[in-house]
Amino acid sequence: MKKLSTLVKWSFVLPTLGQNLFIYLELYYMSYFLTDICQFPLNTVTFILTSTAAVDLVWVFVTGIVLEKCDFKKMGKYRAWYVIGSPIIILFFALMFTDFGNSAAAMAVVVVSFCNIGSVAGQLLFSFVGGATITFFGNVFHVTALGYTAAAIIFTIVNGICHIALYYITKDVPVAKTEEKKEKLSVGRMFKIFVENPPLLILSFGDLLRYTAYFLISSTAAYYFAAVLKDSASMSIYLTAQTCMGVVAALVVEFMIRAMGKKATYVLSCLMYGGTAVLMYFIGGEGATVIFIVVMSIGSFFNNCIRATVTAMTADTVIYSMWKSNTNARGFIMSMTNIPIKFGSMIKSVILPVGLSIIGYQAGVEATPEDAQGIAVIMCLVAGGSLVVSGLINLFFYSLTEKRVDEMTQEINERM
């Protein structure tokens, strides 16, 4: 097969960069936008976040099936979606971050307009320009909500440009023969493969808890800086520090996996990430901004180690499935890595607004010590505890080792 050019290789950075701009806008600011900017009641916020997360979860299965079944002959089986999806995202994501007023109609627009949430380059760019863009356009239009709307429009346009650029750059890249002759799987067969793969189920459940914690920490950060640290201006520094540690993790995680193995790296990283969150409950507070940023950046390092490791572990479950059922369901199984993300988002969407309601949080009102403590419980203890449990589940129940994967790979090769 023809070797890929340097331009083609580097072009795959583009969609991730563009995508993460609007992903992190949603992740860090959506809940805060609904409560403090749009002034929705907390029960309404709960409905918006949980209903959209539930629909998003259903779309994981739908999109996985659609991707397998659809084939655009001239545009390419998968590349076509870069062109088809990007303009749709611009429209609905802009609506998602538009303040239509505190009404049932406005709530319906937000629910219908919800876009999918999931690298380092996009996150780093967002940490530099995200908050600044919101503030700049909020000042330009003299309406804070329009700052979020403008940011959503700009970031999704950048995302569209990046995806369409990749589409044209890769137009002459040949399709792998293994993909051309890939076995067609029925929907029933796909789900049977999923439920009959214990390592995949265990990994997915553990990662569900990990993503729930990650989303809680991310979505609560704006509240934590405002109510606990009383230093909202430093959140941009926090985001930049988090991303820088992600870069470091991307550079060293491969060596960690080689030294300890994938399972040990995943477990250790979960326990350390959870430990940093729990620690901040006891040492965090007003004036502790620097300590918070340092400790949570260490946690971010381990979270990014998990991200890289879980992909490799999921690839091992593909080998397990091939060994057990003699069926190559790589595309379907790898697409199922979205399930923990969507379930985690949905669970977060329940915990955060319900938690804020329980502690009596009120938007636009000076946070009380009780508010600060409640927000710290959600961000530090609930999230940290979920991470620790995730690590322990994989420690005791995930069974695939490097040696076992090598043995299964050899058996598969012998069958062929």
Domain limits, the chain: 1-182, 185-416
| Mean pLDDT, the chain, integer | 76
| Higher pLDDT pick, 188 / 352 | 352
Kindly report the pTM of this predicted structure.
Answer: 0.68
Confidence class of residue 70 from pLDDT cuts 50, 70 and 90? low
| Higher pLDDT pick, 310 / 61 | 310
- Predicted local confidence at residue 340, as pLDDT: 84
Q: What is the mean pLDDT of residues 109-137?
A: 55
CB proximity list for 387: less than 8 A, separation 6 or greater:
209, 210, 213, 270, 271, 273, 274, 277
- Predicted local confidence at residue 62, as pLDDT: 64
In the predicted structure, residue 72 carries a pLDDT above the cut 70: no
Q: How far is residue 84's CA from residue 78's CA, in Å, rounded to a whole number? A: 10
pLDDT digits (tens, 9 = 90+) for 370-409: 889 999 999 999 999 999 999 999 999 998 888 888 888 8
Confidence class of residue 110 from pLDDT cuts 50, 70 and 90? very low
pLDDT digits (tens, 9 = 90+) for 134-145: 788 888 877 777
In the predicted structure, residue 267 carries a pLDDT above the cut 70: yes
- Predicted local confidence at residue 112, as pLDDT: 38
pLDDT digits (tens, 9 = 90+) for 78-99: 666 667 667 777 776 677 766 6
* Phi, psi for 171 (deg, rounded to 5): -65, -25
Q: How far is residue 116's CA from residue 393's CA, in Å, rounded to a whole number? A: 27
- Predicted local confidence at residue 264, as pLDDT: 92
Q: Are 139 and 122 in contact (CB under 8 A)?
A: no
pLDDT digits (tens, 9 = 90+) for 183-228: 566 667 767 777 778 888 899 899 999 999 998 998 898 889 988 9
In the predicted structure, residue 15 carries a pLDDT above the cut 70: no
Q: How far is residue 154's CA from residue 159's CA, in Å, rounded to a whole number? A: 9
In the predicted structure, residue 2 carries a pLDDT above the cut 60: no
Confidence class of residue 279 from pLDDT cuts 50, 70 and 90? very high
Q: What is the mean pLDDT of residues 264-277?
A: 94
Q: What is the mean pLDDT of residues 111-125?
A: 43
- Predicted local confidence at residue 186, as pLDDT: 65
Q: Are 4 and 173 in contact (CB under 8 A)?
A: yes
- Predicted local confidence at residue 213, as pLDDT: 94
Q: What is the mean pLDDT of residues 329-342?
A: 74
| Higher pLDDT pick, 296 / 412 | 296
Q: How far is residue 38's CA from residue 54's CA, in Å, rounded to a whole number? A: 22
CATH architecture assignment, domain 185-416: Up-down Bundle (1.20)
Q: Nearest to residue 95, comparing CAs of 32, 160, 30?
A: 30
- Predicted local confidence at residue 254, as pLDDT: 82
User: Out of 63-67, 113-117, 184-188, 281-285, which region has the weakest mean confidence (pLDDT)?
Assistant: 113-117
Q: Are 306 and 257 in contact (CB under 8 A)?
A: no
Q: How far is residue 82's CA from residue 259's CA, in Å, rounded to a whole number? A: 38
